[in-house]
Each structure stands twice: as structure tokens, then as C-alpha cells.
Structure 1
Amino acid sequence: MKNFKLASITAAALLFSSVAVASDMYIDLGTNSYDMGRGVGTPDANTRTAAFNEFGFSQLLATSIYDYSDGSIFGAFFDTNDIPTLTGLGLPASGTALDGVSNVNLVLPNCPAGQCDIDALSPLVPPLGSDNEGYLQTWDMQMVYTLNGTLTAAGGPQYTSGTIDIFFNDLNDDTNDRLILTFSVTGSDIMAANLNLYFDITYAEAGFLWIDNGSGTFVDASAGIASGNYARVVLDTNVNPPIPTNDQLLLVGTNAIRQATLDGSMTASVPEPASLTMLGLGLLGLAGVGRRQRKNKSNA
């Protein structure tokens, strides 16, 4: 019975420590000059967007590179849209797919045309007339990512490391472009064609992204990074099929490469005060069980 209690308290502590619910967010630009320059909608006097709960993207060009040196796509692979990396691998390229029949064309992402963009702050943008501080009119955000994993026949793609870097993109002045967020992979899961990737926010420009902590208080995403108390992100996207077929793959050097366009969303959360409290109670419970066990042993 003592072991059951110990296991129950341990499970409760772990459960409450890992709870992460998608939260409202807003972005603070620190200036309303972007809002004043918008072409659609009415500018306001503050420097921040209204609340939204998802970063969205559509028709994102995704390139998957599978190590084919042993004649199989199973094993190590990585996904990237980093143009220098893709150029170094020999893209653009075209030719006959691994099925010996289909033609495959591999291209570089066209970022100016939107193939690297976060194109929605859902449900805030679109429409462009909302309180978005000029998003998609005077500024937007672009992502550069490299995500590493292992492909298995039984489990499909399993992501183990890598990052998504989010860059501020000033549509009128390139000197303001800069890195604002970095998401670092912590794991993934997949069901049918639905893929979830999990991240910690390991870099955030101070004062830029604010996330509701579950009690109505917005917390700067950069606040917990130094202590390792990271805000978290879940990326939900489609991958169809999860294991590429030979008609999709082009052999370039020793790599089999597939390209696809993806739609998806990213939600964020920070540890909720209630979760941290329950974790503390769980740890106190564990300490109490330990004290009782030591006392019982001393009385034996």
C-alpha cells in the first residue's frame, strides 16, 4: 500500500508539472510606427497587438532529407528550409524519382513570395483591419528551421532535436530585421497524417512576445529562459504520407529528398501557477512519505 501511495503522488507531480494549455498571446513592438503605416484598418495609440492564440502558416515549403547511403530512407533524416543548407545539398535539382518513372523537381523556398512566412495570428489576422499593429502590411515574421529525427517503418518520423528561428521582417526597412524567437525541439508524436512537434522557447527578444500564464496575467516569453523555466510551443501540422513513397523522392548525392507544402499552427503556453502549486504539493507528499518510511524503519 505504501508503494501505491508513493507511485500515485509521483504520477500526480509529473502530471501537473507537464500540463500545458494553449494560451492567449500578444506581441508588443515597442513602437506604434508600424501601426501608423498600415494601409488597411485604423491605427491606435498603443504598441501591441490584440490577443491571439495561434501562429498560423499555409503552403510552407518543407524539404525532408533522408540519408540514403545504405539504400534505405529509414534512419536519420532532417527537415529544413535553410537556403544555404539546401544549396549545399545540390538544390535546385530535378530528375526521375526512386520509382524510376515519376519526375521530381526540387526548388529553393521562395521566401519573398511567402513560402517562409507566418501568415496568420489567429484569429486576429486576417482580417487586416483588426488590431494587429500593421501585421502583413508593414511587418511580418519568417521562420528558418532545421529539425532532426529518425524515420522508422513502425512509428514514422520521430523528431529529437533542432530549432525553428523566427525573424522579424520589416517590410520597409531591412535594417530592422532580426531574430526574435527560437523554438528548440523537445519531442514529437504522430497520428495518421497529423504531426505534433513540441518545443521550448529558448530565446525570446525581451518584451516582444507575451503569453497568458493561465490566470489572466501575461508573462514575457523571455522571462524564464535564464532559469530554464521555458515557455512551450506545440506545432500542429500535416504530413501526408508520414513515410515518403518512392514517387516523391529524388536521389541527390547520397540523400533521398522530398518536398511538400504544409499548413499548420503553433500554440504557446507558460507553466500555470496552479500546475506549479500542485507540483510543489506532490513533492511535499513525496517528502512526507519518505519521512514516514524512515520512521517506520526506525521503529521496527
Structure 2
Amino acid sequence: MKKLLLASALALTTTVAVADPIFLDVGQDFGGNGNVATTSSSTGWIDQLTYIYQSETTVVDVDGSFSGTAASLLTDGDSIVTNGGFINGDLSSLSSNLITGLNPQQTTFGGPSDNGYGGDWGLTFQINNLMGTVAGGTNQYLDYTSGAISIYYYQAGMTSTADFIELFTINVTNSGLTASGSFVGGNVSNYGTDLVNGVVAGDVFNSLLGGFKEYSEDQVSPDFAVNSLLDYNTEDVTSADFLGTDAEGNNVFMVEGQHDGSITFNVPEPASIAILGLGLLGLAGARRRKS
């Protein structure tokens, strides 16, 4: 029963998104091939990051629909709060909560350089208070509208999670369901100011327009903020425990799961947005003339 629990809501398939290519510059040459984006301290150009993580989701059965079966646990309108990722103070939690790879991958026959990713350095994250509701009816999904996902850098020689360097935070603003699965979207902000081997933490991630932090600070409009899109699958719901009732008498459950997925980034280009705006203005003018 536990493995089937929340299958309709959490067994989410991969969402393919249009993404901008990025590269990572960690300020040091850790290896890899010669197909780098800029210097030997950078990776090559990549399209997405893949990841795994464990989560805990608190479910409030707002409509009292739970009747003891898995199918009745989640219904539209039930509230959800999800937390996950590595655990502060527990280095062993890193193995189940990290960025597992860069895609396209470096191979024996070529591909973009990974600069030794996964050897002496890597990326991990924490998911904090993703809040939302169950939605979708027969095509059920988790509709998150707020929360934060913070990305961290680590490397050999660090002795505790307190040594991890925060690169940036993704502020979750929306989620939804497409023909190919569910997604969570948000804006990148709260760029780190510490140094990663001499590189400002917020500029470890780079696009064609420059480092994420530097680029965002140069923009005068929030429309130019770096955006991200995450899709995720649930490999196994490991447990679902009844916690009791809340102040309104609603049943409250804790659901634990193991997940995998991918993350992509989109960096709006001011020129493209300007062209789009001119196009819309042109159409508006045409309508007025016709009327």
C-alpha cells in the first residue's frame, strides 16, 4: 500500500523545457576534457542538471475525504507543504540529495567537459517549505505556489555541511501540468557573495549573457530575472504516517518519498523581450485601425 500511495499525485514524468545553455565556473581545474566553455576552470556548455532527493510532505486532508485507502488520501483542495534535500549537520545525507550529473555528459569519446564533476566537487540543495494544494482532478498533481530551493557548492576538504557555499535560491512561483508531466517554476535570486576558489558564488552559473548574479544585477526590470524549471519523478513513496489533527479537526499526514528529476534555466535577453513588446504593440495598433 505504501508504494502505491499518492501514485496519481506524485508519479510525475519528465517535462521537456526550452532551456538556455549554461556552464559552471568553479575557479579551479579539476580535470575533464578540453571542451570547456571558457577556461580550464569551467565546464563545457550544458543544457540541464539531473538530481535526486528525499522529501517529507505534510498533507492536510481539508475535505475529510480520507477513508483509509491510498486513493482517498489526496483530493483537490488538500493543502501540502514539502521539505527536502540534504540535512544540516548530516554529511551522509548528501549521497541521497544532490545534483547527480551535467547533461550532455562527458564521455570517453567527447562531449562537454565536466571539469571533474562528482569527484572533488559537486552541487547539492535544500527544499524549504514548498506550499500549495492538490489540484487537477483526474489528472492530479501538486500545485506549488511558494517556497524556496537553495543550491549549494561543496568540494573535497569540507568537513561539515556548514562549509557548503550557497550559490543562489530559486523562489518557487508556479507549477502546473503539461502533456508530458508536472513542473515547478521560479525565479533565481539571493545570489551568494562568498567565493568559490576565487569566483563569486553567484557567478558560478553562467549563460551566454554572463554570470547569473552579474547579469541579474545589471538589469533594471524583474522581467529579466533568471528563471528555472524543475521536473521531478517519485521513484518510491517510502512511508505515509498519520500525525493527528490540526486546530480545525482536519487529519494531517506525513508522506516521505524518494525522487529524481532535472532542472533547466532560462535567461531572458532584453532584445528579445523588446521585439516581443513591439510586436504586441503593432498588433494592438492594427486592431484599432480595423475597428
Could you say which TM-score interval applies, normalised by the shorter chain? 0.5 to 0.7
Flag the structure with larger Rg.
1
Measured against aligned partners, the alpha-carbon deviations of 1:12-31 in whole angstroms (never above 9, x if no partner) come to xxxxxxxx8312110111x2
Q: Aligned residue for 1:136?
A: 118
Alignment of 1:7-86 (within 5 A): 21-29=18-26, 31-32=27-28, 35-36=29-30, 46-58=40-52, 60-68=53-61, 71-72=64-65, 73-74=74-75, 75-81=78-84
Contact 2:33–2:114 (CA under 8 A) maintained in structure 1: no
Aligned residue among 257, 271, 275 for 2:254: 257
CA distance in 1, matches of 2:93, 2:107: 19
Q: Distance in 2 between matches of 1:176 and 1:140?
A: 13
Q: Deviations over 1:189-243 (max 9, x none)?
A: 125882211111123344211123xxxxx432221256422111111222479xx
For residue 49 of structure 2, what is the amino acid of its counterpart? F
Query: 2:254 aligns to what SS in structure 1?
Result: strand
CA contact (8 A) 1:196 1:234 kept: yes
What amino acid does structure 1 have at the position aligned with 2:97? C
Superposed CA deviations along residues 80-101 of structure 1, whole A, max 9, x for unmatched, are 116779xxxxxxxxxxxxxxxx
Runs (5+) with no aligned partner, structure 2: 1-16, 66-73, 192-200, 246-251
Matched, 1:268 2:265: yes
- Identify if the C-alpha distance between structure 1 residues 240 and 171 changes in structure 2 by more than 3 Å, giving closer, same or farther: closer
* Alpha-carbon distance in 2 for matches of 1:115, 1:201: 24
Alignment of 1:281-296 (within 5 A): 281-285=278-282, 288=285
Instruction: Give the SS at the match of 2:114.
Output: coil
Aligned residues: 236
Contact 2:61 2:79 in 1 (8 A): no
Structure 1: runs of 5 or more not aligned = 1-19, 86-107, 213-217
Partner secondary structure for residue 203 of structure 2: coil
Distance apart, 1:46 and its partner CA: 2.4
The two structures have a TM-score, normalised by structure 1, of 0.65
The equivalent of 1:177 in structure 2 is 164
CA RMSD of aligned residues (A): 3.7
1:51-78 CA distance string (max 9 Å, x none)? 11111013x2122210247645542111
Match of 2:150?
165
Whole-angstrom CA distance in 1 between matches of 2:91 and 2:64: 27
Contact 1:161–1:184 at 8 Å: present in 2 too? yes
TM-score (norm 2): 0.67
